[in-house]
Each structure stands twice: as structure tokens, then as C-alpha cells.
Amino acid sequence: MVKPKRSVDQLIEKTERIYDAIGQGLMMGNYSKAARQNGFTKDQLNYYLRDYRNGKIRQSHGRLRTKPKFTPEEYSILVSKVIDIHKNQPNLSLRQISISINSDLSRQS
């Protein structure tokens, strides 16, 4: 049986939950409790937290060892823009989202 691919909605939701859990853990000072409250194990949260602290962005298959193209602040802005665009226009492809972000950036320049 072939495992179905995750939809963009599912990936965005999981990413939001991961970073919400990291934020809660930072505020509470207890990442284990924050992980449990958001449906993750401590190890799953640490997997993303380690790279987040180093300013790296982990790809879905777990391989990213190159220097990041974005700072953590720039990445969080980018993720929030993608989420906003996807919420307003859920039928856009990733390519269309990319074009939309690039056109917004060129207008700001």
C-alpha cells in the first residue's frame, strides 16, 4: 500500500504546531511539557529545535546541512507570508505562491 502524500494544508498545520510548541516551551521553560501538549514527543520537538537554534531549516526528508539562505527572522517572515497567502487563496500552487511573494517584494523595493 502506498502512503498518501501530505497536502500543503497538513504540512502548514504541522509546521505551525511545531513552532507553537517551541514558543510555548521557551515561555514555560519546559520543552517536554510543551511537546506533549501539542501532540509531539520531546525527541520530535528537539529534532526541529536543534536546527532552529542553529538557524537551519530542516527539510521534510531531514537533510539540510548547508548554510541557510535566510536568518531565522527572515524565515519566520517568509513562513508567515506563505501561510497568509495560502489562507486567503488555498488553491494556489507553490509556484504561484512564490510568484506572489516575489511580486510583493519587488513592489516594496
Q: What pLDDT, in 10s, does the model give residues 47-60? A: 877 776 666 555 54
Shared domain for 13 and 56, answered yes or no, is: yes
Shared domain for 36 and 82, answered yes or no, is: no
Shared domain for 13 and 60, answered yes or no, is: yes
The tally of domains found in the chain comes to 2
Shared domain for 89 and 62, answered yes or no, is: no
> Which pTM does this prediction carry?
0.45
Return the beta strands (E) in 26-107 as ranges.
none
Q: How confident is the model over 70-87, as a mean pLDDT?
A: 79
Q: Which domain holds residue 57?
A: 7-67
H or E stretch including 21?
A: helix 8-28
Spatial contact of 84 and 17, defined as CB atoms under 8 Å apart: no
Question: Mean of the per-residue pLDDT values for the chain?
Answer: 75
Shared domain for 50 and 78, answered yes or no, is: no
pLDDT tens-digit profile of 18-65? Answer: 878 888 888 888 888 888 888 888 888 888 777 766 665 555 445 545
Which band of pLDDT confidence, cut at 50, 70 and 90, is reported for residue 85?
A: confident
